[in-house]
């Protein structure tokens, strides 16, 4: 499932290439025809991420809300600007003539097709495209989301109100952290489950959950009410740091033991990025004990039984 950093990068991509344009909106798959017709031809005025939810605001007050869920992804075609200043865009650089795309979802993968003439843009939809948003030089295709709906601004505000704090959108990082602390220590649910509840804290998925708890040396099965407030507070601030880094790099890199060269190698090699996630049976990078994989609330949970005793 795409985690918070990816959705914030998607919002940046929209702000770079589609916000400010009147968009042609369609549903090639047909399942979103009514919603597409409602916002077709309107100018896209904003693109905001809160946790794992994306909110695209159109003139007139309608909002396209998208939750990618486990299998959703956006493909961007045509002009695909750098998401972060100074980075090279992964896809065609100012070249609507090239049939290329950047996919943003579970991971970010450059999709490339044959070069062609101007008639190749926009490219025909590939697969089950729920909604297509087309600007003059950029196209965004959405596939496989858990949620895709057009709602008004009041309904969008209610969705955000039900979410936990997001470090990127929180107006006061310290105050938002206290909200998270209060919601964790009030519950007898395992802290590993609470961190995945979007009403507690927004944006954390399975990878960040496992890594944050390892970095805190905290047993994921500890009931929330038994976790010291200062430790929950530290996890919140650690989440803010990791999220900002993920937005900048486009990768979840959680090892703080790496120097500059080590970080570069880890960014190129996903197997070097994490302390415990995806490393079941492999030795813990700190103590050498085999990493465990368990199930918590139907999701895989990775932990070191010694470091997180």
Active-site annotation holds for 52: yes
Catalytic residue among 52, 132, 209, 215: 52
- Dmax (CA) of the chain: 63
Active-site annotation holds for 3: yes
Catalytic residue among 2, 123, 165, 167: 2
Active-site annotation holds for 220: no
Catalytic residue among 42, 43, 255, 299: 299
Active-site annotation holds for 2: yes
> Catalytic amino acids?
2-3, 52, 299
């Amino acid at each position: 499932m795409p985690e918070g950093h990816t959705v914030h990068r998607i919002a940046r991509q929209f702000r770079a290439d589609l916000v400010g344009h009147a968009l042609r909106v369609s549903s090639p798959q047909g399942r979103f025809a009514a919603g597409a017709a409602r916002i077709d031809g309107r100018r896209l005025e904003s693109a905001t991420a809160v946790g794992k939810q994306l909110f695209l605001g159109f003139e007139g007050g309608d909002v396209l809300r998208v939750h990618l869920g486990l299998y959703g992804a956006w493909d961007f075609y045509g002009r695909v600007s750098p998401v972060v200043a100074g980075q090279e865009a992964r896809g065609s650089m100012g070249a609507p003539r090239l049939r290329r795309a950047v996919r943003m979802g579970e991971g970010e993968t450059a999709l490339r097709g044959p070069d062609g003439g101007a008639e190749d843009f926009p490219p025909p939809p590939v697969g089950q495209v729920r909604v297509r948003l087309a600007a003059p030089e950029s196209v965004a295709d959405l596939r496989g989301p858990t949620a895709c709906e057009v709602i008004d601004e009041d309904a969008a505000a209610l969705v955000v109100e039900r979410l936990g704090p997001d470090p990127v959108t929180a107006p006061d990082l310290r105050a938002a952290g206290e909200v998270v602390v209060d919601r964790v220590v009030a519950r007898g649910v395992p802290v590993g489950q609470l961190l995945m509840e979007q009403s507690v804290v927004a944006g954390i998925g399975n990878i960040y959950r496992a890594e944050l708890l390892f970095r805190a040396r905290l047993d994921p099965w500890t009931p929330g009410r038994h976790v010291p407030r200062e430790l929950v507070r530290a996890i919140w601030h650690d989440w803010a740091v990791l999220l900002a880094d993920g937005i900048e790099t486009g990768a979840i890199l959680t090892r703080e033991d790496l120097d500059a060269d080590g970080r570069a190698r880890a960014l190129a090699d996903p197997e070097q990025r994490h302390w415990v996630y995806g490393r079941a049976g492999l030795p813990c990078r700190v103590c050498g004990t085999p990493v465990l994989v368990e199930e918590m609330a139907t999701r895989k949970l990775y932990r070191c039984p010694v470091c997180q005793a």
